[in-house]
A and B are shown apart, each in its own frame.
Chain A
Amino acid sequence: MKNKKWGLIILGLAIFVIAVTFPFWHGIGKSKPVPVLSLDTPLIAAMQNKKCVEDKAFMRANHMKMLNTWRDEAVREGHRLYTTKDGRVFEKSLTGTCIQCHSNKEQFCDRCHNYVGAKPSCFDCHVIPGEVKK
């Protein structure tokens, strides 16, 4: 009787340890290629000085925070224009500014979002021109 109880406890502990450590050993040995983001859109191709709203490193790390700030400032405070660190002015708008250049959502936004498992809800409402009727 006593031994049987210990067996159950150890079995339970083993299941627990396996479940908790699953994320750590699940990916071992597998490698996914880092997504290659395409900047091949007509508007970017036509640009003389290929520059995003802010520099690449900043945009890569902070675009989601920046969009959240844009959202709050534009909707709640009515401040619709963004001046960059180097003095250029943009409208605070996902579809009006970002998507104008990055019109290839599947090859740009989605590739990285899918790779890191991010599911932004932006596009549930904000319509991408040309990518409608889902």
Chain B
Amino acid sequence: MTTNRRDFLKIAGASALTLITPSILNPLWAKETVRIPGQDFTPAKALAAKRWAMVVEPAKCPEGCTDCTAACHAVHNVPNFGNPKDEVKWIWTEPFAAVFPGENHRYQGQSLQKMRLPVLCNHCENPPCVRVCPTKATFRRPDGIVMMDYHRCIGCRLCMAGCPYGARSMNYRDPRPFIARFNPDFPTRTKGVVEKCNFCEERLAKGIMPACVLACKEKALTFGDAENSRSEVRLAIDKRFSLPRRAGLGTAPQVYYIL
């Protein structure tokens, strides 16, 4: 049988039609994804803000006090590996020279030199960790919280290199055996995952203030909405001089220190 021009065109046309069949079948495959209704429901109790921020008054901190650290680490199942090399920390203390290297000088008063200041993730307006994260495991929420999605973390540690405050810790070992008491309301992490302070976003969603703020008996930590001019944080920094850490880097940190 010899193919004439007419038959050839018919076959070519029919073959071309088969190319579009996947797009016809697509709706059938798409049905597999589960659509979940009612996503826009926000619990009435949840604490919300335009821009969460914290004010720290280190002068109120009694010497050697670790109440904020203990409360935070217990609530968030932070492991204690017992050596500084593997240390995982969400909120901890540093000497003045380490917290404010640019503001320090050799004649700085003894009270400041000896002071240990509570430090934590600054939840920057312009967070370098978010910019460098290749999987978007770290992201900035509309309310300013720089949050981690541990499910997506691949442990590349670019965020740790990017963060100028050392606020991020890597789990170099399986953290589970090093957690003294489990809080079942919060997950643990696995080996190879980076973690940091999350401004207690899981507690804010339930209407509870951050664990460190509630644990501080001296009220050295204040938490609230920086965009609301009548909020506690704004009242705390309105009348006094406050300093964010290493503001010159352009990260716009949202933890303010009153010194």
Contact = CB atoms under 8 A, between A and B. Distances in A.
Interface of A: 62, 65-66, 69-71, 73, 75-83, 85, 89, 95-96, 121, 124-129, 132-134
A92 to B, nearest CB: 9
B34 interface: yes
A71 B184 contact: no
A83 B38 contact: yes
Contact of B36 (A66, A121, A128, A132): A66
28 contacts: A62-B34, A66-B36, A69-B34, A69-B36, A75-B147, A77-B39, A78-B141, A79-B39, A79-B42, A80-B43, A81-B43, A83-B37, A83-B38, A83-B41, A85-B37, A89-B41, A95-B187, A125-B150, A125-B188, A127-B182, A127-B183, A127-B184, A127-B186, A127-B187, A129-B184, A133-B177, A133-B182, A134-B176
Given A75-B149, A78-B205, A127-B77, A89 B184 contact: no
Contacts of B190: 121, 124-125
A82 B33 contact: no
B7 interface: no
B77 A76 contact: no
Contacts of A78: 42, 141, 201, 205
A95 B149 contact: no
A79 B40 contact: yes
Dominant SS among interface residues on chain B: loop
Interface residues of B, number: 30
B185 interface: yes
Interface string B180-218: 001111111110000000000100010000000000000
Contacts of B186: 127
Nearest to A96: B185
